[in-house]
């Protein structure tokens, strides 16, 4: 039975591991057929800005775009 997971992200994309952890949790849950909602608030909204570049770190917006294509629902 599919469950719904809701992730609350409030930290900036490149200051902590929180963004990558949220991506991994969402990716895993979607891969198992669950529904996933992500609520970005405060600095978490910056994970969805286009044109950001972080050296040596995957672009958060690109990671989330791939998950959105797989069914992730994002609320800013």
What would the CATH number be for the domain defined by 4-75?
3.40.1260.10
Q: Where are the alpha helices (DSSP H) in the chain?
A: 18-31, 60-69
The residue assigned the tokens 């952890």 is: 21
Do residues 9 and 44 touch, judged by C-beta distance below 8 A? yes
Residue 70 clears pLDDT 90, i.e. is over it: yes
- Ordered by start, the domain boundaries in the chain are 4-75
pLDDT digits (tens, 9 = 90+) for 30-68: 999 999 999 999 999 999 987 777 778 888 888 999 999
């Amino acid at each position: 039975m599919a469950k719904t997971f809701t992730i609350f992200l409030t930290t900036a994309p490149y200051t902590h591991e929180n963004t990558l952890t949220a991506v991994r949790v969402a990716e895993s849950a979607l891969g198992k057929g669950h529904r996933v909602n992500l609520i970005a608030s405060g600095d978490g909204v910056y994970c969805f800005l286009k044109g950001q570049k972080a050296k040596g770190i995957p672009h958060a917006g690109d990671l989330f775009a791939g998950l959105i294509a797989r069914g992730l629902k994002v609320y800013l």
